[in-house]
Amino acid sequence: MIPVLTKEQAYKLDKDTIESGHLSQEELMDNAGKAVAQFFCEKIQNPFSKNVVVVCGKGNNGGDGVIVHSYLKKYNVPSKIVFTEKNHGHSKLLKKYKISKSEFSFYNYKIKFGKYDWIIDAIFGIGLSRDLTDKYMKIIEKINKNKKIISIDIPTGAFSDGGSFYHKDKVINSEFTVTFGFSKLGHYLVPINNLFQLDIGFKPISSNFQKIGFSDINNILKFINKKSDIHKYSNGKCFIYGGIKYSGATILSTRACLKTGSSYVNLYYDNSYRMLDKIDLLIPEAIITSEILDKKDTKTPILIGPGDNDIDYISIDHIDCNDIIVDAGAIEKNRNINHYPSNSILTPHMGELKKIYGFKDVDYLNLNVLLSLQSIIEEQIIILKSFNTFIIKKDLIYIMDRGPSILATSGTGDVLSGILVSLLSQGYSRLEASIFGTYLHAEAANYYMNNISKDGMTASDLIDCIPHAFNELRKNSEL
C-alpha cells in the first residue's frame, strides 16, 4: 500500500523532517523546486524551446515556484515569474537565487498567458481552506484558457482534504499535477489529471489512508487451480436476492458473478414476478429459485439489494451467513449502518450517501465525510463509489484510483456487486474481495478502453471484459 496524507499529516511530515535534522526547510524547498524543473525537462517534448511562466502566490507554494523558475533558467528553459501580489513575501528567495527584476512581473487584468507555451501553477498549495476571492477566480479563468498547465502540489482552487467549495470552474485545470513525496487526500476526492509524486528526500511514513497498487493485488491474488475432485458446489457457490422493479440490475449482478468465477449461483426472485420464466433464457447458467436461503447454510455469501429500492420479501435480520454484500435497494431500506451485520460490505454511491446518511449539502467528498463514515461502522466495510473508490474500514481507508470515467454509466455498480459476491464465494476475505474486486472492476473497464473503444461502454460490455482483465492480471502477476 502507498501512504496518502491529509493536510495535517503533510505539515507534520515537513515539521518532523526539519526538526529531526534530516533536511532543513531550505533544503526541502530547493529539492522541491529542482524536482519540478527536472520533471519539466524530462516530461515535456522539446522543453528548451518552450516559453514558461511560473505564476506564484504568497505562501510556500509560491516560494517553490520561485525556485522552479531559478532551475528552469539554469537548465536553459526560457522562464518568467508572475507574482499574484506585489507583497509576495519572496524577496529573500529572489536574492538568494539571484533573480533579477527583469525576470518577474506582477499580475494585472491585461496580462496574456496565451503567449506562453506552458504555465506552472504555484499560487496556492495544500494550505487553501477557503473559497477564492473574485481576483483569484479571474486569474484561474485566464489560466484555464490555456491547456498546457502544470500545478505544484495540488491545482489552485482544490483543497488538500477535499471540500464542498470545489467546482470545476473554480479550480485550475492542469494537464499535470506534481506533488512531493506522497500524494494528498485531495488528489483523490476531486478529478485531477496525471498526478506525479516527486522524491525530495522524505523518509518513509505511515498513514491511515492507503492507495492500492498492483503489488497489493499481486499479494492477495488467488487464481485457484481446480483440482480433479472439485465440483460446482465447492467452487464458488453464492446467493443473490434480486429486486423485481429493475430486474436488469439483478441480471447484470448475476452475469458478473458468473464471469468472475462462481460456479453455482442461486438467483432468488419473488413468486409474484410475472417474468420469472423468462429469466432462465437470459441467464441459463444461474439457478432461478423462489426459496429463501436455508438459515442453516451459513457459508454461502449473499448479495442483496440490486434491482429494487423496496425489498420487502427478505429481512437482513434473518440472514445468518459468513458474508453479505448490501447493494442499492437494501441500503436505502435500512438507513442505519449498524443495522447491518458485522460481516457486511455496503456499496453506496454518492447519491445514496447524500440521501441516506445525511450529507445532503456535500457534492464532493471531503475528509470530514470519510471520517464520519469511519466513526459509525464497527466491523462492516463500506465501498464508497465516487470519482475514485474508497474502501472504508474502522481503522483504515483504502483508495482505488484505477477506474476510468467510462465507468460512469448505468449498471456498472451492479456489475461490481456481482464481482464482490463471486470473490467471497471463492474464498477471498471481505477485505481481499473489496480491494481485488474494485481493482478488477476498474481493469475490466480499462481493457475495454484500451482494446475496444474510448467510449460507448455498457454494463454488459464491462461484464464481457472481466475474463480479459483476469488474463491481464495473470500476465503481470508473479504467480
Q: pLDDT tier at 23 (50, 70, 90 boundaries)?
A: very high
pLDDT at position 166 = 54
- The Cβ-side half-sphere exposure at 9, using a 13 Å CA radius, reads 21
Q: Which residue has the cell 524547498?
A: 29
Q: What is the pLDDT of residue 354?
A: 73
pLDDT digits 0-9 by tens, 287-328: 877 777 666 667 889 998 787 655 554 556 556 667 888 886
Q: Which three three-digit cell numbers place residue 258?
A: 458468473
What single-letter DSSP state applies at residue 232? G
* Nearest Cα residue to 5 out of 216, 208, 158: 208
- Residue by residue, DSSP assigns 5-51 as E-HHHHHHHHHHHHHTTSS-HHHHHHHHHHHHHHHHHHHSSSGGG--
Helices (H) and strands (E) in the chain, counts: 15, 19
Per-residue pLDDT of 25-37, as tens digits, reads: 999 999 999 999 9
Residue 193 backbone phi and psi in degrees, to 5: -90, 140
Residue 476 CA to residue 459 CA, distance in Å, equals: 25
Specify the pLDDT at position 227: 46
| Most confident residue range from 174-178, 212-216, 246-250, 357-361 | 174-178
pTM, rounded to two decimals: 0.90
Phi/psi for 158 (5° steps) reads -90, 150
- Under a CB-based contact definition with an 8 Å cutoff, are residues 329 and 307 in contact? yes
Per-residue pLDDT tens for 238-251?
888 877 677 788 89
Average pLDDT value over all residues in the chain: 86
Using CA atoms, how far apart are residues 187 and 140, in angstroms rounded to an integer?
18
- Give the whole-angstrom CA distance, residue 210 versus residue 207: 7
Q: Which fold is adopted by the domain 2-208?
A: Rossmann fold (3.40.50)
Q: Is residue 50's pLDDT more than 90?
A: yes
Could you tell me whether strands 389-392 and 381-385 are parallel, antiparallel, or unpaired per DSSP bridges?
Answer: antiparallel
Q: What is the mean pLDDT of residues 260-279?
A: 73
State the Cα–Cα distance between residues 359 and 352, nearest whole angstrom.
Answer: 10
Residue 351 above 50 pLDDT?
yes
Q: Residue ranges per domain, the chain?
A: 2-208, 215-476
Q: Do residues 311 and 285 touch, judged by C-beta distance below 8 A?
A: no
| 249 contacts 411 by C-beta, under 8 angstroms | yes
Q: Specify the amino acid at residue 433.
A: A
Taking domain 215-476, whether its CATH number is 3.40.1190.20 is answered by yes
Of all residues in the chain, what percent carry a pLDDT higher than 70? Answer: 84
